[in-house]
Structure 1
Amino acid sequence: MLAGIRPVLMPKEFVFCTTGDAEIIARIGASAFSWIHEEEGITLILTRSAAKSFGFDDGMPMRRIVLQVFSALDGVGLTAAVATALANEGIPCNMIAGYHHDHVFVPSAMADRAVAVLRDLQVRSTK
């Protein structure tokens, strides 16, 4: 699976936000990239511009890297391998598995380096 990850850096910046305010949640609607329901509130992943417009702190902008491999929901090891490769280079990441692809969020300032690390991981896995 690693041999086919083909990481692609997406252009927009994202921010992880949280709220329990039902009015804000209703206004955000489908504009959120993702919602995660947690006991403490709802985590929203919004574009940086949307986060600003809703009054959220945008001090930790992230870029999204899409792994182009189709990863099965019951696949084993992809998240661990990607997170380990990035951690070994001092790059923090937040990963979200979608139905079709995995999405890796990294600090904006480290995004280009993260893509290089993941491309290297892909190349090494083909040998």
Structure 2
Amino acid sequence: MKQNKPVRERRAMLAGMKPAPCTGSYVFCSTTDQEVIVAARERALAVFHEQEGVSFVLAKDVAVELGFDASMPMSRIVLGVYSALDGVGLTAGVATALAELGIPCNMIAAYHHDNVFIPEEMKELALSVLEALQYASSSIDGAE
């Protein structure tokens, strides 16, 4: 499978991010219970081992089924740009644009794409902010 070259330059990352909303609700949760860890691991969108326990990003229905608090459901927006792992500024640019309108976000950078998680009720506003940021970044002379 041919892979595109990763983008490193801040403006090019922002201009190429193509924010795309995903369906579904997600919950961030953590546990030290080994049975729950085993049950959640294969169904998780993301897993991270922290000193305090194993953290998961789970679909809301899975989180509820496993007994986690699902009172803060999050929506997911995938940034379509293939940002380089050593690229600088994508997360800062996205978080700053959202923060200016009081939209909290949690970023998860995976290998190919960055993912933005925002409170469900702010999904449409966040998407419009990210689309405006992408447009503004692509309109600047010299943007790739």
Asked if 1:116 is matched to 2:128, the reply is: yes
Asked if 1:125 is matched to 2:101, the reply is: no
Aligned to 1:70: 82
RMSD, matched Cα: 0.6
Asked if 1:44 is matched to 2:59, the reply is: no
When normalised by structure 1's length, the TM-score is 0.98
Please give the alpha-carbon distance, in whole angstroms, between the structure 2 residues aligned to 1:118 and 1:87: 11
When normalised by structure 2's length, the TM-score is 0.87
For these two proteins, the number of residue pairs brought into alignment is 127
Residue 29 of structure 1 and its aligned partner are, at CA, apart by 2.5
Q: 2:93 aligns with which of 63, 76, 81?
A: 81
Asked if 1:91 is matched to 2:103, the reply is: yes
Residue 61 of structure 1 and its aligned partner are, at CA, apart by 0.2
- Structure 1: 4+ residue segments shifted above 3 A: none
Q: Which runs of 5+ in 1 are unaligned?
A: none
Please give the alpha-carbon distance, in whole angstroms, between the structure 1 residues aligned to 2:57 and 2:131: 25
Residue 111 of structure 1 and its aligned partner are, at CA, apart by 0.5
Q: Which runs of 5+ in 2 are unaligned?
A: 1-12, 140-144
Please give the alpha-carbon distance, in whole angstroms, between the structure 2 residues aligned to 1:107 and 1:61: 6
Q: Which has the higher strand share?
A: 1
Instruction: Work out whether residues 28 and 56 of structure 2, in 8 Å CA contact, stay in contact via their aligned partners in 1.
Output: yes
